[in-house]
């Protein structure tokens, strides 16, 4: 059975996309997710706020940045992670973007 790419089992396509991206990234911040998912920042922020309110994601502060991840205390975290992994198979482009994404600063003096 083929999964629809417009599937939204978590209420909206933005919420579902954010959860899938967090599953693939392990941890991310709103602007990074917006750039990765090609969604407006306000949409991603709203999705993160509602997911945090529902207890699906947890946030921590790193300086002035709020980093989000799937809540490790969520009672069905293993099942949620398995479902999100299956949903990520429907979007190979997202997987490719995450694999090529730079996650840390470039070493000082390193040529481009």
State the average pLDDT for the chain: 89
Summarize pLDDT for 22-66 with one digit per residue, the tens: 999 999 999 999 999 999 999 999 999 999 999 999 999 999 999
Which residue range(s) make up the domain with 49?
13-93
Q: What is the CATH number of the domain that holds 38?
A: 1.10.10.10
Residue 8 lies in a domain: no
Does pLDDT of 90 surpass 70? yes
* Long-range Cβ contact pairs of 97-104 (< 8 A, separation 24 or more): 97/36, 98/21, 98/24, 98/25, 98/36, 101/36
Report residue 100 as tokens. Answer: 């090529």
> Is residue 21, in this structure, part of any structural domain at all?
yes
> Residue 1 pLDDT more than 50?
no
The answer as to whether 4 is a domain residue is no
- The total number of structural domains in the chain stands at 1
Quote the CA–CA distance of 16 and 46 in Å, as a whole number.
13
């Amino acid at each position: 059975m083929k999964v629809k790419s417009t599937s939204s089992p978590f209420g909206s396509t933005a919420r579902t996309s954010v959860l899938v991206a967090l599953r693939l990234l392990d941890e991310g911040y709103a602007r990074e997710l917006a750039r990765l998912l090609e969604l407006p920042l306000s949409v991603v922020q709203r999705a993160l706020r509602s997911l945090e309110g529902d207890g699906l994601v947890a946030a921590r502060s790193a300086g002035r940045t709020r980093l989000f991840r799937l809540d490790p205390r969520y009672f069905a975290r293993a099942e949620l992670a398995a479902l999100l992994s299956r949903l990520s198979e429907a979007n190979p482009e997202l997987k490719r973007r995450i694999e090529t994404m730079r996650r840390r600063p470039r070493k000082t003096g390193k040529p481009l």
